[in-house]
A and B are shown apart, each in its own frame.
Chain A
């Protein structure tokens, strides 16, 4: 395979992978939809979730999506240092998101509202936690990609990898939008 064809094939494969990942999330969403009222006498979504915290998380993630977009613009303009800087910013934002999420989890667990408390909380922790695990994976990947970019420059091989990384990051953003809506916003109407 020549480099261009390889890049095209890898991109197609990655899109398909993202769709399968989306199906995994859809299972979690379905479980949350079924179980969100199954509190077994424990606290409900409306009592537990802080909207301001979730809003800050959302804004951080959206901004990180924007900075990863800027990073890719720099990549395509062949500006390595600028791309490094924007990916660095994306990394910091992603890490900040993860810290906020872990803080929320920690507080819930300390208050005795861990995933073992009720089926509702099992579904909540699994759905939000799986997204968090994806963010963690994305951060690990970003760190590796930045090392690769620094060592090897912006060759087709590296650019192809960065394209997939940014796809992954935007994908997680989209999933979070649904998550924010279904878990946090809808806890107020229920």
Chain B
């Protein structure tokens, strides 16, 4: 009876270790505080109607960023735990973590940071910015957008569910490579949690990819041809195309691993004819494009920032677009460089080595274009520009390290060492994350109506940059000394310890950087009257998002703008085309829907049940999700009309308020 009701979930599986019990306690306390707060302030209805069921991409974007920020906290804690162990576990000292727990932590760090932090932040920014940049009022499919967001949340919850409901985190590395991730070697629930978390959030990413691609291709304002699109929109397009080409591979590959684990099949097992290296090939066919899904939008963000703060048109726009496209195509042709040591032979390795090195060309084109955009510009050194300059240095460093690794001969030496770890952290932190920080500072006033405090922003930047160098320079050196990644213990004679200790200090500096960012937010909120962005255009911007008030109304544009130039808003300002319209029109807007939450909730249920083999719950979860989709398919009235009169009232009130706030 117990097996039918609870599958493999038993009392013994429930939390009993210090970190799961602690996690349960911390999570329930935080949840209780939130519930009490919302109930006391009577905010439930407002939260449900204004946020949880919304189809407004600006609000969905903010929710993405909030969830990703919470996961960022978790990912940083993991990083700290890894480095404290490595700095102390030498010679006769075994450190404070068991080997198994250490493995779970480095697996968690990788998965959380890639899937739930960087992806979440990037998709959040896309949601906020892309519709505004192309002069659209919403995305091509607002429903798919809310559904995609809630699937992302369901994935994030599922991968952390073991804290409260029992089980463990995966401990087979962030990509769960077989044969280690097969039942024979990982009999626990960790890999299953991992599988279904990625399955559910991956479906969300795929829906997002379809949505952004079609939005950019089909929803642009009149006059905005492809060659007039802002760079961030272009790189979002490239990123979406990569999502569409690669996420199906992730979905299917992880499903096959699940088939091995759940049904006893033999795709990647060591016996019965299975082929583990096939998994490695397939997972990197997704994994390498994923890197570019994360960094391409950053390139776009920096292009916007450089041209805005240098007060110049972006230099070499068309070569910039071509570079982004070249990177998009090359991203799909280099996966084998992650495992030159597979031994595919000199010819195969040479092809993939060369295709990898080719990526240096479009990357260099971008750097030169940014430099030439700044050339003779009237540069304002705001904190986004600081991040840009830091990024250039780190991008060059990480790129050079990447070129070195692209040579199979060198890679045989450096494979799976800390040199590789240092390389990809330079790309993810120095390129993707710095881009996100810069973008968040840049677009913050658009979302909230006030700018961020510059002094604390710059302090945060310097701490992040210095911390990064202190933390990762030792890793480059350690890697060259032959230190393998993921070591939980090493001999004192290796001489590694001073470097690990230095790296931990670097992490401490980066943590201060994160603290400075929180301080920046607090100071800015306190001074928000002084920092208010009345005009909607605090940076003298060039693209359409700055033509809207800050924060923009839910319909973005009262009148859809007409685009005549690449720097659409700049051209409007130059030719005196910025004025309030005399007449207004009815606006069609997508209505709220709770079905995104319901479908994601049922998927979460099914995912949890699949982890623990609870058959009735699997059926319930899947059937519930399908019924919700069918219910949605009957609904013809997914839009409502905002009458022209109402738009006029709202716009008049806004204009009056702006006039009053102007000094």
Contact = CB atoms under 8 A, between A and B. Distances in A.
A34 B278 contact: yes
Contacts of A119: 265-267, 269, 272-275
A75 to B, nearest CB: 17
Nearest to A147: B634
B248 A27 contact: yes
A186 interface: no
Interface string B249-282: 1011100100110011111010111110010001
Contacts of A24: 248-249, 251-252
A110 interface: no
A35 B275 CA distance: 8
Nearest to A137: B626
Contact of B141 (A13, A20, A30, A31): A13
B213 A1 contact: no
Interface in A86-103: none
Interface stretch (A47-55, A66-74, A120-128, A167-175): A120-128
Contact of B273 (A9, A19, A39, A126): A39
A56 interface: no
Given A20-B247, A27-B253, A161-B633, A116 B264 contact: yes
Contacts of B251: 24
B143 to A, nearest CB: 11
A17 interface: yes
B588 interface: yes
B272 A16 contact: no
Interface in B627-647: 630, 633-634, 636, 639
Contacts of A59: none
B214 A16 contact: yes
A159 B369 CA distance: 49
Interface in B216-253: 217-219, 244-245, 247-249, 251-253
Contacts of B247: 20
13 contacts: A5-B218, A9-B141, A23-B245, A27-B248, A27-B249, A40-B273, A115-B263, A116-B264, A123-B267, A125-B265, A126-B259, A148-B633, A152-B636
A119 B267 CA distance: 6
B218 A9 contact: yes
B550 interface: no
Contacts of A152: 636
Range for the number of chain B residues in contact with chain A:
35 or more
A177 interface: no
A34 B263 contact: no
Nearest to B219: A9
B345 to A, nearest CB: 17
B226 to A, nearest CB: 15
B633 A144 contact: yes
A148 B631 CA distance: 11
A81 interface: no
A16 B207 CA distance: 10
Nearest to A17: B210
B256 A126 contact: yes
B147 to A, nearest CB: 13
B267 A122 contact: yes
Nearest to A125: B265
A10 B142 CA distance: 12
B244 A19 contact: yes
Contacts of A35: 267, 273-275, 278
